[in-house]
Amino acid sequence: METGLLRFVTCGSVDDGKSTLLGRLLYDAGMLADDQLDALRRDSRGRHGDAALDFALVTDGLDAERQQGITIDVAWRYFHTAKRSFIVGDCPGHEQYTRNMATGASQAALAVVLVDARKGLLAQTRRHTYICALLGIRQVVLAVNKMDLAGFDPGAYASVVEPYRALAASLGIAAVHALPVVAVDGDNIGQRSARMPWYDGPCLLELLETAPTQIAPSADFRLPVQWVNRPTPDFRGYAGTVCGGQVARGDEVLVQPGTQRARIARIVTADGDLEHATGGQAVTLCLDRELDVSRGDVISAAARPAPVADQFACHLLWMGDAPMLPNRSYTFRLGTCTASARVTTIKHKVDVHTQAPLAAQRLELNEVGCCTVDLDRPVAFEAYADNRTLGGFILIDRQSQATVACGMLDFALHRASNIQWQHTDVDKAMRASAKGQRPQCLWFTGLSGAGKSTVANLVERRLAALGYHTYLLDGDNLRHGLNVDLGFTAEARVENVRRVAEVAHLMVDAGLIVLVCVISPFQSEREFARGRFGADEFVEVFVDTPLAECERRDSKGLYRKARAGELRNFTGIDSPYEVPPAPELHLRTAGQRPEQLADQVIARLRLG
């Protein structure tokens, strides 16, 4: 559908004249008001000591960037011509802002890539083009700038354009339109230049006025349910935005990831019911029967449903300041659906300049990796190349709630469909009732030497004496067997806690009361562990002993070794311990005997 609205991004560095090009475009489109021009004249003089307009100042926004002379963040600008409206994302060029460029590109249908005619293709040109391709941009306008400084030479122009076409083709960008420009003077920006008669194509503005506005027309009907609207008992509508295909009243649909089917009874909008709805429209669907539908479900064409999976191959761009650790649990958001995700494998990372694959253990800020992602449950999705909404996801750090990655789903890995959950007739409730107890997991966390094992041991003895069925999973003991392959790096600690949590989960399923003693220094992993249990099955016990006291006791002699540099990555010394913000039980050990602490734990438990 032609929307009359084109979103595009500009890529290039300050040196290439990107901000100047954009400022000039706004000027030529008649979008700069008199008072803005006055401010521009004032600012231009202040900075450069001459009266020439510095168009770059039109688009530089935040104080910090104006002073540093660089563009840090994506700035969105708005202009229109007689033909259509434009939203342009001005993306920063430097490598450390790769994430910002990805943000801009994620929303764009087209990219204007700027190259300095004298310099030709640079490593950063390759990087910008790669990021655009990665984020799904399939049409590029290549603006070869500063042609005046290259003597308006068609040969110089061709020596940029030809290799660029080859690069773009290798990255899957089908449409490249090249043109020579002088941004600072406006040649081929708002009107065709008389200084380069050898170029007889359209100017930049004309190109932007005629480029397709649609991002990726996807054929099959998809609507991710955003909000269930239930104002009265007799109205139940599923509100959301169509992100693929078209739907008509009477169509048969499937609610995914499940298998419930229904027909569309009404397509409701405030301006009256519709017969059809298509991509981009925000509507409310009513179905012809009562189904269990909630936010995050996808309503799909029944004849052509979306694939469903819980394990994927994807490309991941890391945006967090802290590195991505394999197997750490992150909040996953795809369209309107939220799940819990782990990156289980980094197959390789990608050199963003050369696109060469490199071996990697972790991903740092602005790095791209080809990865495997595992979810805690199946979701409906599409390959990113087919549908940005159902193929593009973000990862959120569980502790800071920051957005730490964006990912593009490539395809499902077939473990999900080949391995099905085997139903068993005897379930947790039956096993628990046979034992006459409430199965649960007591998770003791704290520094090495804090007294976790001592207290847990006392608690288990009392429970056993009362006739309860228990098991104590000790982190150190597990490292002799199940976790013998794991060391003490951050990556290994994440995996260590994951395995302990899974074993504890099985034991709770078996009906046991499980006591886990493991330092578990990171909040994210403790949250992951909590997520494996029901709300009333998990009791986090923070055994709080000051570091100085643990070090004074040093029953295993480990602190002495760590201080001597013989042990690396020791929690509290050269590896952090993140204090639990809201444990069920906070045991302050100072001045307390272990028996008193065990009493506190027992008092907190609901056993029967």
Partner 1 sequence: MPSPAHLDALEAESIHILREVLACFRRPVLLYSIGKDSQVLLHLLRKACYPARLPLPLLHVDTTWKFREMIAFRDRLAGSGEFELLVHVNEDGVRRGISPLRHGAAVHTDVMKTQALKQALDLHGFDAAIGGARRDEEKSRAKERVFSFRTAQHHWDPKRQRPELWRTWNTQLQPGESVRVFPLSDWTELDVWRYIRRERIEVVPLYFARERPVVRRDGAWLMADDERFALREGERIESRRVRFRTLGCYPLTAAIESDADTLDAVIAEMQRSRSSERQGRIIDHDGAGSMERKKQEGYF
**Residues annotated catalytic, as ranges:** 520
Closer Cβ to partner 1, 261 or 333, answer by number? 333
Which of these, 308, 298, 289, lies nearest to 255 by C-alpha position?
A: 298
The least distance separating partner 1 from the CB of residue 120, rounded to whole angstroms, comes to 31
100 binds partner 1 (CB under 8 A): yes
Residues 507-546 that bind partner 1 (CB under 8 A): none
- Sole window of 1-9, 301-309, 459-467, 533-541 interacting with partner 1 (rule: CB under 8 A): 1-9
The least distance separating partner 1 from the CB of residue 364, rounded to whole angstroms, comes to 16
Closer Cβ to partner 1, 393 or 444, answer by number? 393
The two tokens of residue 155 are: 């040969």
- Sole window of 16-24, 265-273, 341-349, 538-546 interacting with partner 1 (rule: CB under 8 A): 265-273
The least distance separating partner 1 from the CB of residue 118, rounded to whole angstroms, comes to 30
Task: List the one residue from 13, 44, 145, 284 that touches partner 1 (CB under 8 A).
Answer: 284
The least distance separating partner 1 from the CB of residue 249, rounded to whole angstroms, comes to 17
Closer Cβ to partner 1, 35 or 425, answer by number? 35
278 binds partner 1 (CB under 8 A): no
Q: Where are the alpha helices (DSSP H) in 53-177?
A: 56-59, 63-68, 98-106, 123-134, 154-170
138 binds partner 1 (CB under 8 A): no
Q: Which single residue is written with the structure tokens 């800020």? A: 365
The least distance separating partner 1 from the CB of residue 76, rounded to whole angstroms, comes to 5
Task: List the one residue from 41, 70, 76, 410 that touches partner 1 (CB under 8 A).
Answer: 76
Burial of residue 533, with CB atoms counted within 10 A of its CB: 0-12 exposed, 13-18 middle, 19 or more buried: buried
288 binds partner 1 (CB under 8 A): no
CA distance linking residue 448 with residue 551, whole number of Å: 9
What are the Cα distances from residue 440, in Å, to 464, 507, 526, 602? 15, 9, 15, 13
DSSP per-residue codes, 172-237? T--EEEEEE-BTTTTBTTTB--SS-TT--S--HHHHHHHS---S----S-EEE--EEEEEETTEEE
Which of these, 83, 85, 88, lies nearest to 71 by C-alpha position?
A: 88
Closer Cβ to partner 1, 383 or 472, answer by number? 383
**Rama region for 180: left / alpha / beta (φ>0; ψ in -120 to 50; rest):** beta
- Sole window of 78-86, 157-165, 536-544, 558-566 interacting with partner 1 (rule: CB under 8 A): 78-86
Applying CB under 8 A, the site for partner 1 has a residue count of 74
Which of these, 14, 17, 7, 183, lies nearest to 92 by C-alpha position?
A: 14
CA distance linking residue 513 with residue 98, whole number of Å: 48
Closer Cβ to partner 1, 391 or 439, answer by number? 391
Task: Name the β-bridge partners of 264.
Answer: 287
The two tokens of residue 183 are: 């941004």
Residue 326 near residue 362 (C-beta atoms within 8 A):
yes
Burial of residue 258, with CB atoms counted within 10 A of its CB: 0-12 exposed, 13-18 middle, 19 or more buried: middle
Burial of residue 421, with CB atoms counted within 10 A of its CB: 0-12 exposed, 13-18 middle, 19 or more buried: exposed
Residues 23-52 that bind partner 1 (CB under 8 A): 33-36, 39, 43
Residue 135 near residue 105 (C-beta atoms within 8 A):
yes
- Sole window of 13-21, 80-88, 153-161, 373-381 interacting with partner 1 (rule: CB under 8 A): 80-88
Residues 392-421 that bind partner 1 (CB under 8 A): 392-394, 396, 400-403, 406
Closer Cβ to partner 1, 147 or 373, answer by number? 373
Task: List the one residue from 14, 73, 211, 428 that touches partner 1 (CB under 8 A).
Answer: 73
CA distance linking residue 362 with residue 372, whole number of Å: 13
Closer Cβ to partner 1, 64 or 303, answer by number? 64
Closer Cβ to partner 1, 225 or 514, answer by number? 225
The least distance separating partner 1 from the CB of residue 27, rounded to whole angstroms, comes to 13
Task: List the one residue from 1, 52, 166, 464 that touches partner 1 (CB under 8 A).
Answer: 1
Residues 314-333 that bind partner 1 (CB under 8 A): 319, 331, 333
Residues 349-388 that bind partner 1 (CB under 8 A): 388
CA distance linking residue 7 with residue 155, whole number of Å: 32
The least distance separating partner 1 from the CB of residue 269, rounded to whole angstroms, comes to 7
The least distance separating partner 1 from the CB of residue 396, rounded to whole angstroms, comes to 5
Give residues with Cβ within 8 angstroms of 155, minimum separation 6: none
80 binds partner 1 (CB under 8 A): yes
Give residues with Cβ within 8 angstroms of 124, minimum separation 6: 13, 93, 95, 353
Closer Cβ to partner 1, 395 or 601, answer by number? 395
Residues 212-251 that bind partner 1 (CB under 8 A): 226-227, 229-231, 235, 237, 239-241
One character per residue 49-68, x = contact with partner 1 (rule: CB under 8 A): ----------xxxxxx-x--
The least distance separating partner 1 from the CB of residue 139, rounded to whole angstroms, comes to 18
